[in-house]
Amino acid sequence: MDGFQERLKLSLQWRLSWWLTVAMLLVAALAAAVSYLTALDEANEMQDQTLRQIGALYGAGRLPVVGAIQFVGDDEAPVMILGLRRTPAGGLAALPDGMHRATMNGVACRVLLRTVSPGLRLAVGQAIAFRDEIANHSALRTLLPLLLLIPLLPLLVVLLVRRLFLPVATLAHEADQRSERELQALAPDFLPLELRPFVVAINRLLARVEKSMDQQRRFVADAAHELRSPLTALSLQAEALAATALPLEATTRVEALHLGIERSRVLLDQMLALARAQTVLPRTAAAVPVLDIFRRVLEDLMPLAEARQIDIGVEATDDPRVVGDAVDLLMLVKNLADNAIRYSPAGGKVDLCTHADGGQVIIEVCDRGPGIAPEQRERVFDPFFRVLGSEQSGSGLGLSIVAEIARRMGATVRLDWTDAAQRQGLRVSVVFQV
């Protein structure tokens, strides 16, 4: 009962169904009462008319013996006919012509009194109990369709209200299926007129949010782009300074300065990559060979792998193709491989793998580093989040870029151990639907 009251209080659909059901049942009950009384009155009037017709059939020539009751009709509801002489004494003979409630043959009856000739009268009566039974049966038969309909009214109301609210549920499902990046306007055309202003207001809010997010992305991209030139100049100056003869302490500080500038440059590059991945721009969709992407990634990252003494290679039995933008796919694989190289121990191994499985193309990047604990695998896709205890420097944007590109391409990213038994290494699988 408490649950019903709570739903009735909070749910517009339940309240509408409840009050419509109550109103329809009250109207149906009133209609049933009026129909019953009307049918009962008509049934009684028809029986009165029957008494009049029988009385009209009897004239002076057919008048039964005075004082003797004659029965006509069926045995269940016989009509009693009695001849009378007008007399001032009490009883039927003293009543005026017309319909009366009186006693005939010791039974309460509906009686028609009619003067047939001077001094002679006719009494036509029928037992009230029989008349009421017949009238009630006739009236109840008129109520039968309505009585059968009343139990169906609540179900009909619930189905109709649910049907009317179906566009709202459809709109809610559509909005719920969207990601945080899909801010295009909702379509209010299929909604009732009363709900369209609400959806129009939501669309205006979405437009303002999208404009604000675009401004933020443009600011990040513009700021990162503007900072690249000063950082490049600082890097050149640091290299020139390192090439001059300096004291040992100065040389150490110049090297630290150069590493800091390099980290800042990598951070700016990744911020630009993330801004590009988040920007809603049309991409060129084509069937991109995965092995070609692997080759370009190896060309770009081989110096880094050699510097860290990482054995990086490709494992593939075929060359599947992924439908999408080649630049996005290259950025995705490059970020995964770059992370794998940086977090693998010196002398480790990184594998780039791909294979087709039914209607899917799977790209995997495996390393032999510390891996990521299961409880942190959701958070590592957040921008600037870095696993605690990591000794490697980084910006925490690599997996955010991967997740954003995968979302845009309709792919799914999965994280697992490379060696599940030892709980070591990170295996990143990107599953594309083809």
Residue 147 falls inside a structural domain: yes
Q: Quote the pLDDT of residue 180.
A: 67
3-state secondary structure of 109: strand
User: Are 268 and 290 within one domain?
Assistant: no
Distances (CA, A) of 229 to 225, 226, 234, 239: 8, 6, 9, 15
Cα 428 to Cα 426: distance, rounded to the nearest angstrom:
6
Higher pLDDT, 194 or 329: 329
Confidence category of residue 277, pLDDT binned at 50, 70, 90: low
% of the chain with per-residue pLDDT over 90: 12
Q: Quote the pLDDT of residue 46.
A: 82
User: Are 2 and 123 within one domain?
Assistant: yes
Measuring CA to CA, which residue among 242, 232, 295, 239 is closest to residue 265?
232
Write out pLDDT tens, residues 306-345. Answer: 988 999 999 888 889 998 888 889 989 998 998 899 888 8
Where b means 16+ CB within 10 Å and e means fewer, 377-395 reads beebbeeeebbeeeeeebb
Residue 129 falls inside a structural domain: yes
Q: Is the alpha carbon torsion for 335, 329, 380, 365 positive or negative?
A: negative
Q: Quote the pLDDT of residue 426.
A: 92
Higher pLDDT, 265 or 128: 128
Cα 331 to Cα 397: distance, rounded to the nearest angstrom:
12
Least confident of 5-9, 14-18, 253-257, 328-332: 5-9
Q: Quote the pLDDT of residue 394.
A: 57
User: Are 97 and 119 within one domain?
Assistant: yes
Cα 13 to Cα 296: distance, rounded to the nearest angstrom:
58
Cα 402 to Cα 21: distance, rounded to the nearest angstrom:
54
Please report the beta strands in 88-219, taking only residues with DSSP state E, as ranges in sequence order: 98-104, 107-117, 120-127
Residue 46 falls inside a structural domain: yes
Task: Please give the residue range of the domain that contains residue 213.
Answer: 195-273
Q: Quote the pLDDT of residue 185.
A: 79
Q: Is the pLDDT of residue 184 over 90?
A: no
Q: Quote the pLDDT of residue 361.
A: 92
Least confident of 139-148, 272-281, 282-291: 272-281
Picking from 273, 308, 339, the residue at the C-terminal end of a domain is 273
User: Are 229 and 306 within one domain?
Assistant: no
The pTM assigned to this predicted structure is: 0.51
Q: What is the mean pLDDT of residues 417-421?
A: 88
Write out pLDDT tens, residues 289-312. Answer: 999 999 999 998 998 899 889 999
Residue 279 falls inside a structural domain: no
User: Are 260 and 288 within one domain?
Assistant: no
Distances (CA, A) of 250 to 231, 235, 241, 333, 348: 20, 16, 10, 39, 33
Residue 187 falls inside a structural domain: no
Q: What is the mean pLDDT of residues 395-417?
A: 85
Q: How is residue 88 written in tokens? A: 């001032």
Residue 132 falls inside a structural domain: yes
Q: Which of 187-196, 259-268, 276-285, 407-416 is the most confident on average?
A: 407-416
3-state secondary structure of 317: coil
Write out pLDDT tens, residues 78-132. Answer: 778 777 776 655 667 778 888 888 888 778 888 888 887 777 778 888 888 887 7
Measuring CA to CA, which residue among 78, 137, 75 is closest to residue 109?
78
Write out pLDDT tens, residues 371-396. Answer: 888 888 888 888 777 765 455 555 66
User: Are 145 and 25 within one domain?
Assistant: yes
Confidence category of residue 282, pLDDT binned at 50, 70, 90: low
Picking from 128, 144, 177, the residue at the C-terminal end of a domain is 177
Those residues whose C-beta lies under 8 Å from the C-beta of residue 44, and which sit 6 or more positions away, are 131, 135
Higher pLDDT, 176 or 362: 362
Confidence category of residue 208, pLDDT binned at 50, 70, 90: confident
User: Are 23 and 73 within one domain?
Assistant: yes
Higher pLDDT, 86 or 417: 417
Write out pLDDT tens, residues 132-171. Answer: 777 777 777 777 777 777 777 777 777 777 777 777 777 7
User: Are 165 and 206 within one domain?
Assistant: no
Mean pLDDT of the chain: 78
Least confident of 55-69, 93-107, 306-320, 349-363: 55-69
Cα 306 to Cα 310: distance, rounded to the nearest angstrom:
6
User: Are 89 and 17 within one domain?
Assistant: yes
Give the count of domains, the chain. 3
Residue 182 falls inside a structural domain: no
Q: Quote the pLDDT of residue 364.
A: 94
Q: How is residue 422 written in tokens? A: 């030892």
Q: Quote the pLDDT of residue 63.
A: 56
User: Are 269 and 350 within one domain?
Assistant: no
The CATH number that applies at residue 226 is 1.10.287.130
Picking from 229, 248, 273, the residue at the C-terminal end of a domain is 273
User: Are 2 and 84 within one domain?
Assistant: yes
Q: Is the pLDDT of residue 225 over 70?
A: no
The CATH number that applies at residue 303 is 3.30.565.10
Measuring CA to CA, which residue among 363, 280, 282, 377 is closest to residue 329?
363
Confidence category of residue 40, pLDDT binned at 50, 70, 90: confident
Q: Quote the pLDDT of residue 416.
A: 92
User: Are 288 and 379 within one domain?
Assistant: yes
Q: Is the pLDDT of residue 228 over 80?
A: no
Beta bridge partners of 350: 312
Confidence category of residue 4, pLDDT binned at 50, 70, 90: low
Residue 380 falls inside a structural domain: yes
Residue owning tokens 């060359």: 319
Q: How is residue 216 written in tokens? A: 């933020």
In angstroms and rounded to an integer, the radius of gyration of the C-alpha atoms of the chain is 48
Q: How is residue 151 written in tokens? A: 């139990």
Distances (CA, A) of 208 to 89, 204, 279, 282: 101, 6, 16, 21
* Type and span of the H or E element at 6: helix 2-10
